[in-house]
Amino acid sequence: MSALPRLAVLGSGKGSNFVALQEAILAGKLRAQIVLVASDMADAVILSRALGFGLPTATLPPSPFRTKLSPEGEIALVELLKENDIEWVVLAGYMRVVKEPLLKAFPQRIINIHPSLLPAFKGLKAWEQALAAGVAETGCTVHYVNQDIDAGEIIGQQRVPVLPGDTAESLHARIQVAEHELYPAALAKVLSR
């Protein structure tokens, strides 16, 4: 094993949080190495961004379920992670619910970022939930992943004001800026323990 913690990043979309993490590593702000980027979507932009950094990628087997991998798929993911000597699993816009095989293989070693100040606005499109609720502020949360959705122990949070005239798009864009600051810092804190 390397002296640096070995990370796998799982994502389903554009990978902007992955980029923030990799740039923090390259800048020396996050002492870790991303050794694998995997997606449940073969055409996810995160995979091409990872290749742009020269990092290995993998596409997870298709699932018959919309919100989770099949049990066989999750077991295959665990095997893939173990083959790559992964120590920490980092979720970056990974749109699947993590289930028992992965939770059991990496207890208290799966980290996620969520676009709200948990425990408020769990689940999908949290920024839209915040706007609909009329709150004065929202933000983002880095947390450990457990068996319940967006309910694991909180590692760090960053607040984002809801401005007059905000749309879902403008609020989400500001939350993403906060995510890109918070995620590398929170992960650095966890890995330094």
* Confidence check: pLDDT of 1 > 50: no
Of 107, 127, 144, the residue that ends a domain is 107
pLDDT tens digits for range 74-106: 999 999 999 999 999 999 999 999 999 999 999
Whether residues 67 and 124 share a domain: the answer is: no
Which H or E element spans position 188? helix 168-191
Whether residues 59 and 90 share a domain: the answer is: yes
| Residue 94 backbone class (left: φ over 0; alpha: ψ -120 to 50; beta: rest) | beta
Is the bond preceding residue 101 a cis peptide, omega within 30 degrees? no
| Cα–Cα distance for residue pair 40/30, rounded to 1 Å | 26
Whether residues 175 and 101 share a domain: the answer is: no
- pTM exceeding the 0.75 threshold for the entire prediction: yes
Whether residues 126 and 56 share a domain: the answer is: no
Whether residues 11 and 97 share a domain: the answer is: yes
- Per-residue pLDDT at 2: 53
Closest by alpha carbon to 147, among 107, 91, 99? 99
Whether residues 137 and 93 share a domain: the answer is: no
Whether residues 160 and 122 share a domain: the answer is: yes
- Has 172 been annotated as catalytic? no
For the chain, the domain total comes to 2
Whether residues 15 and 103 share a domain: the answer is: yes
Catalytic residue among 114, 143, 172, 180: 114
Closest by alpha carbon to 93, among 10, 171, 190? 10
- Per-residue pLDDT at 55: 98
Of 107, 132, 158, the residue that ends a domain is 107
Whether residues 97 and 172 share a domain: the answer is: no
Whether residues 28 and 103 share a domain: the answer is: yes
Of 43, 77, 107, the residue that ends a domain is 107
In this prediction, what percent of the chain has a pLDDT beyond 70? Answer: 99
Whether residues 95 and 131 share a domain: the answer is: no
Confidence of residue 44 (pLDDT cuts 50, 70, 90): very high
Whether residues 51 and 79 share a domain: the answer is: yes
Q: Print the domain residue range for 145.
A: 113-179+186-193
The CATH number given to whatever domain includes residue 86 is 3.40.50.170
